[in-house]
Chain A
Amino acid sequence: MKILVPVKRVVDAYVSVRVKSDNTGVDTDNVKKSLNPFCEIAVEEAMRLKEKGLADEVIVVTIGDKDCETTLRSALAFGVDRAIHIKTDNVLRPLAIAKALAKLVEKEAPQLVITGKQSIDADNNQTGQMLAALLNWPQATFASEVTVEADKVTVTREIDGGLETLTMALPAVVTSDLRLNEPRYPKLPNIMKAKKKPIEAIEIADLGVSTASTLAVQRVDEPAERQAGIKVADINELIEKLKNEARVI
């Protein structure tokens, strides 16, 4: 079985981003970028399935400009077999990404696609579901446990009220939630090997996918800032304030 893992390069989770002063977007120049944490979990899960002998090949793919190569190398350092870079200088939204991935799935014919449930920059939480829809495959989003047996996958999902377990025939799309696994720290030899692995490049135009979007960003604003309040001395003062000042208890 082949597993395809779409990954994204994002502003690192621990960077506090700033809105540009002209309100056209968020300043992402010269800030640390990383492999999206949910994608990292997806890569880890694919590698675990391979290490258990349940998959023969793990392929990572990303869509973006030349800087995304670094992201592919950090995924390769997990021991991934191959990497594909779909090249574009435009920033794509989920539907275009899903369309490009669907084309790649036709070409590579994986049995399982594992991706992150959301990227921590745009926070859309759409790509995996859209890809599954375009392929007419079943989906298991927000996965916290994945079990592959022969031609089916059983997935426990994090839902609002608790957990839900679904089983579905392969091929399928799975999106990872935080508790699916704890990603490894790649070992030095793997990092070195990853530097030398070839990366297959595909121009997005060659997939016949338009990068145009029907969404136009009008402006980007900082949210209203919350002011720090007061420090209370003890519980009695806290209760008094909550009762008489804030009137919330």
Chain B
Amino acid sequence: MSVLVIAEHDNSELKSATLNAITAAKELGDVTVLVAGSGSQSVADAAAQVAGVSAVLHSDAAHYENGIAEELTPLVVSTAASFDYVITAATTFGKNLLPRVSALLDVEQISDVTSVVSADTFVHPVYAGNALETVQSSDAKKVLTIRTTAFEAAETTGGSASVEALAASDAVGTVTLVGRELTVSNRPELGAAEVIVSGGRGVGSAENFAIIEALADKLGAAVGASRAAVDAGYVPNDYQVGQTGKVVAPSLYIAIGISGAIQHLAGMKDSKVIVAINKDEDAPIFQVADYGLVADLFDVVPEMTGAL
């Protein structure tokens, strides 16, 4: 079986989510990574080094620079012709692109695959992770997005795949990127962090979030948040952890001033160790926490930062 993994990148580096997708792909067959970008040779080279990758297809053209779905779709659809599977990580990039590809291939996509049961059968969560659906696909070609937290990242070295140039598809030109406002931070990326410190409505304000950030920096952690904290404007949108935000599974997740709504739990309950700090001893977050501390966050969080 042959598997095409669409690489996610910024034209200089391969995103770590692609490494998780590659691990899932390896369970299905021979892995080819498609790198479509502009001035993206370093990404193609990096993909070729990833352990378990057999081949890299590299298509470089100006209209692939910004990862616009409308531009990438024709390339992915035509390349997919010789593969049994088309895969991306279930990141905003993958979620945006792959259904477009799937519809044109006339294939029913399976979103957020968490486990490969067999060549045609996959498990994926539904209802905010409150149910796991095992589905069998009778489509000749299978189109899957991969939940990154369910598969280890493939090693970035050890591979020696060939890099083959692929002719670009024609520019579509219907969509123009006006700009990006990317969160600049020296902290690890939320999706790949080993430790995450998250704050909720209980933190109370954007200024107070400094307490959360100070603890995160002490631990070398990423900062996350509940929807309530994002909606209230304490932190940027992309900090949201949950059913409709990011799904994370770090070694340590510290939830501070977060009640533990189903939608939040959907994004973090597969973390290895969960700590909850909340002043309400009945907060549902304690039902999933390995270590719970009933306390006022304004007292204990600075104390913890100081004690570490």
Contacts and interface: CB of A to CB of B under 8 A. Distances in A.
A223 interface: yes
Contacts of A166: 68, 175-178
A228 B284 CA distance: 10
Nearest to A182: B231
Interface stretch (A47-55, A76-84, A124-132): A124-132
Nearest to A236: B307
B251 interface: yes
A238 B304 contact: yes
A158 B237 contact: yes
A129 B91 CA distance: 15
Interface stretch (B53-61, B127-135, B151-159, B199-207): B127-135
B291 A221 contact: no
Interface string A212-249: 01111111111100101111101110110110001011
B291 A123 contact: no
Interface of B: 68-70, 73, 91-93, 95-104, 106-112, 121, 125-139, 174-183, 191, 195, 219, 227, 230-231, 236-238, 240, 243-244, 246, 251-252, 262-263, 269, 272-275, 281, 286-295, 300, 303-304, 307-308
Given A161-B183, A166-B175, A221-B134, A231 B292 contact: yes
Contacts of A117: 244
A95 B125 contact: no
**Closest 3 pairs (CB-CB, A-B):** A229-B290, A129-B99, A130-B103
A120 interface: yes
15 contacts: A95-B102, A118-B244, A129-B98, A162-B236, A162-B237, A177-B244, A214-B108, A220-B134, A223-B131, A228-B287, A229-B290, A231-B286, A232-B291, A242-B252, A242-B275
Contacts of B227: 178
Interface of A: 11, 13, 16-17, 19, 26, 38, 93-95, 98, 117-118, 120-134, 138-139, 141-142, 144, 154, 157-169, 177-179, 213-223, 226, 228-232, 234-236, 238-239, 241-242, 246, 248-249
A157 B125 CA distance: 24
A218 B120 CA distance: 11
Contacts of A132: 100
Contact of A123 (B126, B138, B230, B293): B126
Nearest to B292: A231
A25 to B, nearest CB: 8
B16 to A, nearest CB: 11
Contact of A129 (B103, B191, B291): B103
Given A158-B237, A216-B135, A126 B290 contact: no
A209 to B, nearest CB: 13
Given A229-B292, A248-B273, 18 more contacts: A13-B263, A16-B262, A26-B130, A129-B99, A158-B92, A159-B238, A160-B92, A162-B181, A166-B175, A168-B175, A215-B108, A216-B138, A218-B134, A218-B136, A226-B274, A229-B274, A235-B300, A238-B304
Contacts of A125: 95, 99, 111
Given A220-B134, A235-B300, A235-B304, A230 B292 contact: yes
Contacts of A221: 131-132, 134
A77 B195 CA distance: 45
A218 B262 CA distance: 25
B273 A246 contact: yes
